[in-house]
């Protein structure tokens, strides 16, 4: 059972969501722009609150990488404000008539995009998620019900207060953003079980959070999962292009989910391609199968374990395998892939068509880097995550993925015979 206090927060978010669902686009944009202005005006307050979190983290001996994610500075606060302004400038998905038709009996049916209601988000240290997530939820007519980490609580309180004031300035309910301030481990589990109060939960965190959701959640959720992304270099690949793509996919930002983690090479081009790729991937640790090591040499490439092929390294490390055919590449991806992004480099129409059809992933990419699977790069303006599940949303989640649909049925006294 949820604590009365947590359920009460949920009821406040739910009540606000009913008002936000019918708020005008103009009012929602006003709220986001007011919050952006306030963030800049109150920058010193927000930074002072953040300094409390940072000091506590440093005193606790937290690693410098984690402290860096937690730390705000004037330019990061300005970035949060421009994020809110950018979301304000995006089209509002609410009210879109998705489709509609007339039945033979004259009944008129249309499907209209509406907000989900209350979107719950569990996230880790970055305080910018508080404003980024709230902006996307509010723009799409949802109440944001946010549960950040204990490490960032003071920062999150300061940012949330600003966004709530922005909502009030636009005449919208402050509870369009409700922040959970009890950040105990128990409250995370209670949060996942607020069925009827949270319409969609989006966890942003690692494997232990995902497992906790699978084990405990009773509210609907969308999982933003791992990306064990492959680049397959086909027999008919332009090898210069293939080198450029694997280098970009692996090294441009190795810590993110759309970075490549594994390179598959058709055996007919492996002897020519792999030495060039290994040279271009200077600084990247390579682990491979026997055929790859036979080409590249044991000093450049260690033997890959079974585990290596299934792992999202999120680092300058790449697994490599030589495959005898496109079929074998597709099989390998089916076995080890995580359903995020899979790329082929080829000049063969037939190979591209087969890869696109047979590979099961949120995004299948032909002759481009895996790094393009991203809300910004897809043109959504912003994203709240990248779904690796198949239900509701698959791939980058923008404003549209924060909505559902409602059937509107109009008759003139129609009854069923």
User: According to the binding rule CB under 8 A, does residue 367 interact with its own copies?
Assistant: yes
Does 101 bind its own copies (CB under 8 A)? Our answer is yes
Q: How far is the CB of 320 from its own copies (least distance, A)?
A: 19
| Piece of 66-74, 177-185, 218-226, 291-299 that binds its own copies (CB under 8 A) | 218-226
Long-range CB contacts for residues 345-350, cutoff 8 Å, separation at least 24: 345/231, 345/232, 345/233, 345/234, 345/237, 345/238, 345/241, 345/242, 345/245, 346/234, 346/235, 346/236, 346/237, 347/236, 347/237, 347/238, 348/234, 348/235, 348/236
371 binds its own copies (CB under 8 A): yes
**Residues sharing a CB contact under 8 Å with residue 206, sequence separation 6 or more, in sequence order:** none
By the rule CB under 8 A, 229 interacts with its own copies: no
Which one among 133, 363, 382, 399 touches its own copies, defined by CB under 8 A?
A: 363
Q: Residue 202, interface with its own copies (CB under 8 A)?
A: no
364 binds its own copies (CB under 8 A): yes
CB crowding 216-250: b at 16 or more within 10 Å, else e? ebebebbbbbbbbbbbbbbbbbeeeebbebbbbbb
- Within 116-145, the residues that bind its own copies by CB under 8 A are 116-117
Give the one residue of 365, 382, 384, 397 binding its own copies; rule: CB under 8 A.
365
Contacts by 36-42, CB closer than 8 A, 24 or more apart:
36/81, 36/82, 36/84, 36/85, 36/88, 36/166, 37/81, 37/166, 38/162, 38/165, 38/166, 39/77, 39/80, 39/81, 39/84, 39/131, 39/159, 39/162, 40/77, 40/78, 40/81, 42/158, 42/162
56, 189, 254, 378: residue in contact with its own copies (rule CB under 8 A): 378
Q: Of 262, 230, 223, which is closest to residue 341 (Cα–Cα)?
A: 230
The DSSP code for 179 is: E
Say if CB 293 and CB 279 are below 8 A apart: no
Measured CA distances, 32 to 27, 87, 89, 171 (Å): 9, 8, 10, 12
Which residues, 279 to 318, sit near its own copies by CB under 8 A?
none
3-state secondary structure of 268: helix
369 binds its own copies (CB under 8 A): yes
Q: Which of 218, 302, 305, 325 is the binder for its own copies (CB under 8 A)?
A: 218
> From the CB of 65, what's the least distance to its own copies, in Å?
23
Binding to its own copies by residue 248, rule CB under 8 A?
yes
406 binds its own copies, rule: CB under 8 A:
yes
Question: Among all chains, which residue has been given the structure tokens 């079929």?
Answer: 327
Q: Measured between alpha carbons, how far is 264 from 324 in angstroms, rounded to an integer? A: 10
Told to check if 408 binds its own copies by CB under 8 A, we report yes
Token pair of 387, please? Answer: 């779904």
Answer for which of 5, 214, 279, 290 binds its own copies (CB under 8 A) is 214
Q: Which of 57, 81, 114, 233 binds its own copies (CB under 8 A)?
A: 114
CB of 214 to its own copies, least distance (A): 4
Three-class DSSP category at 318: strand
Residue among 127 and 395 whose Cβ is closer to its own copies: 395
Given candidates 177, 222, 229, 296, which one binds its own copies under the rule CB under 8 A? Answer: 222
CA distance 325 to 236: 11
Binding segment toward its own copies, per CB under 8 A, in 123-131, 143-151, 296-304, 383-391: 383-391
Of 395, 397, 398, 399, the one binding its own copies (CB under 8 A) is 395
**Residue span binding its own copies (CB under 8 A) among the ranges 25-33, 42-50, 53-61, 358-366:** 358-366
Decide: is 361 part of the binding site for its own copies (CB under 8 A).
yes
* Count of residues near its own copies by CB under 8 A: 66
- Residues in contact with its own copies by the rule CB under 8 A: 18, 21-22, 101, 103, 107, 109, 114, 116-117, 195, 199-200, 214-215, 218, 220, 222, 238, 241, 244-245, 247-249, 252, 334, 352, 356-358, 360-369, 371-373, 377-379, 389-392, 394-395, 404-416
């Amino acid at each position: 059972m949820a604590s009365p206090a947590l359920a009460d927060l949920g009821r406040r978010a739910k009540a606000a969501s009913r008002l936000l669902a019918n708020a005008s686009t103009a009012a929602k944009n006003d709220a986001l722009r007011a919050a952006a202005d306030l963030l800049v005006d109150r920058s010193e307050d927000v930074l002072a609150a953040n300094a409390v979190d940072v000091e506590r983290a440093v005193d606790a001996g937290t690693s410098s990488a984690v402290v860096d994610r937690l730390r705000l500075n004037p330019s990061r606060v300005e970035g949060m404000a421009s994020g809110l302004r950018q979301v304000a400038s995006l089209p509002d998905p609410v009210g879109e008539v998705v489709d509609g038709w007339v039945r033979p009996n004259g009944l008129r049916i249309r499907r209209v995009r509406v907000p989900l209601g209350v979107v719950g988000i569990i996230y880790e240290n970055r305080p910018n998620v508080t404003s980024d997530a709230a902006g996307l939820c509010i723009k799409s007519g949802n109440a944001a019900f946010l549960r950040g980490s204990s490490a960032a609580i003071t920062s999150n309180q300061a940012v949330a207060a600003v966004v709530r004031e922005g909502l009030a300035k636009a005449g919208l309910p402050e509870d369009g953003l409700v922040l959970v301030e009890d950040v105990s481990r128990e409250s995370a589990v209670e949060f996942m079980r607020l069925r009827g109060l949270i319409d969609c939960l989006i966890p942003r965190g690692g494997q232990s959070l995902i497992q906790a959701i699978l084990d405990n959640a009773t509210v609907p959720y969308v999982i933003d999962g791992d990306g064990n992304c492959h680049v397959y270099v086909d027999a008919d690949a332009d090898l210069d292009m293939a080198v450029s793509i694997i280098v970009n996919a692996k090294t441009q930002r190795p810590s993110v989910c759309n970075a490549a983690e594994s390179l598959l090479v058709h055996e007919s081009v492996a002897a020519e391609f792999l030495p060039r790729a290994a040279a271009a991937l200077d600084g990247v640790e390579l682990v491979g199968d026997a055929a790859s090591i036979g080409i590249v040499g044991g000093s450049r490439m260690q033997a890959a374990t079974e585990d290596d092929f299934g792992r999202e390294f999120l680092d300058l490390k790449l697994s490599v395998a030589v495959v005898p055919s496109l079929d074998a590449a597709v099989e390998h991806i089916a076995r080890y892939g995580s359903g995020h992004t899979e790329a082929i480099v080829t000049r063969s129409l037939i190979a591209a068509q087969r890869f696109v059809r047979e590979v099961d992933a949120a995004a299948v990419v032909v002759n481009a880097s895996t790094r393009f699977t991203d809300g910004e790069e897809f043109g959504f303006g912003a994203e709240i995550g990248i779904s690796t599940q198949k239900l509701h949303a698959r791939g980058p989640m923008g404003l549209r993925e924060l909505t559902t649909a409602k059937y509107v049925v109009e008759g003139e006294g129609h009854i069923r015979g």
